[in-house]
Amino acid sequence: MKRNFGMLALIMAFWFTISFITNILGPLIPDIIHNFNLSDLAMAGFIPTSFFLAYAIMSIPAGLLIDRYGEKPVLFCGFLMPFIGTILFACLHTYPMLLASSFIIGLGMAMLQTVLNPLQRTVGGEENYAFVAELAQFMFGIASFLSPLVYTYLIRELNADTYVAGHNFLLDLLADVTPREMPWVSLYWVFSALLLIMLIAVGISRFPKITLQEEEKSGTTSSYLELFKQKYVWLFFLGIFCYVSTEQGTSIFMSTFLEQYHDVNPQTEGAQVSYFWGLMTAGCIVGMFLLKLMDSKRLLQISGFLTMILLLTALFGTREMSLIAFPAIGFSISMMFSIIFSLALNSARKHHGSFAGILCSAIAGGAGGPMIVSTLADATSLRTGMLSILIFVGYITFIGFWAHPLINNKTVKLKELFK
């Protein structure tokens, strides 16, 4: 692992870049609605829908591309597509181009995540895989925490009423290529610069040959057909779908809700979304310890009930309560994805690679969840629309009661944990 420290650092930079770009949609939604004069929330909801739809489409084909062309070409294309998508919107800032940009970025990000998981196992070594995976999750969370703060900084510094040229070279450069009435577009130039650095890094680096393990292989047509006949496959697929719907439905519309109901300016107080991702990162760390002490099904039940309480508090509480409860949801849902995924794979006797591919396709919940919330919000109110998230969380909690994995997570007593 010491020998490959530089390559591991590069992989962590890849994860940072992915998260920095993909988890910024929430604070941007109010700006998108305002600048493009969108008549309803559903039109704003098409932005995450286009991204996650592309994600779901490309998840399985990306594995086939790795088998045929190798990891480096797929890695390079994975960064090239988001680079093209961000440049397109940075230059042509229209609503249709934003939709196209989100779709192109989603295709690339699906390719990246497919290749990075087995790559970090190969580079770090199988004996260190759990540690490296948690480190990647930590980098992912740090980037999600920082990107809304960068957004707030750029909005403040490039505001047409307060911006003064000549004080900062980089800000002057961004001001020259960003519409004065749309300072948030400057983020896409930042994304482009970051992606260009990653493209250069991939181009000059030599990557080890990846040998996919059974659970990482995409599988055969017959294995998929056999799995599709199993009821538990569809039940767990729906579980992943509901989790991503919960995560994105909350993070994307949180800023809009706080603006509509509590007059919280998303441009100056957009840090709430940052806290959401920051607390999710903290929750992952806490979850590592709790999974050593508790049965994962019981932990999923507790997380589900806590999330429902926090969501109701955020939607019906005072301004101060909402400002605390919304970010806290990030903490309460942080362990759900890994628990559902592990319960699913531990419920299957074979075809784990194919099953994992099916579960990854359920990330389409990032498209479905926001669309359900926004459609209901347009027909009623945003509060009512976000109440639909309770259904998603309720189903996730239900999994904690009916799941019967073949293998349960190993637990120890508290005093044994610190030995």
CA–CA distance, 98 with 48 (Å, rounded to integer) = 10
**pLDDT bucket at 194, cuts 50 / 70 / 90:** very high
Determine the Cα–Cα distance for residues 225 and 119; give it in Å rounded to an integer.
28
Tokens, residue 291: 């999974």
Q: pLDDT digit string (tens) for 158-176?
A: 887 778 888 888 899 998 9
Question: Whose CA is closest to 141, among 287, 267, 254?
Answer: 287
Q: Return the number of other C-beta atoms located less than 10 Å from residue 408's C-beta.
A: 14
Q: Whole-model pTM?
A: 0.83
What six digits make up the tokens of 348? 């299957």
Cβ contact 243:392 at 8 Å: yes
* Alpha helix (H) residue ranges in 205-270: 221-228, 231-262
Distance between CA atoms of 383 and 52, rounded to whole angstroms?
Answer: 23
Q: Which of 107-121, 262-276, 391-405 has the highest mean pLDDT?
A: 391-405
In tens, the pLDDT along 45-80 reads: 888 888 888 877 887 787 778 778 878 898 999 999
What letter would DSSP give residue 363? G
CA distances from 145 to 94, 236, 272 (A): 27, 29, 10
pLDDT tens-place string over residues 354-399: 777 788 778 888 888 999 999 999 999 999 999 999 999 999 999 9
Helix 221-228 to helix 352-361 angle, to the nearest 10 degrees?
70
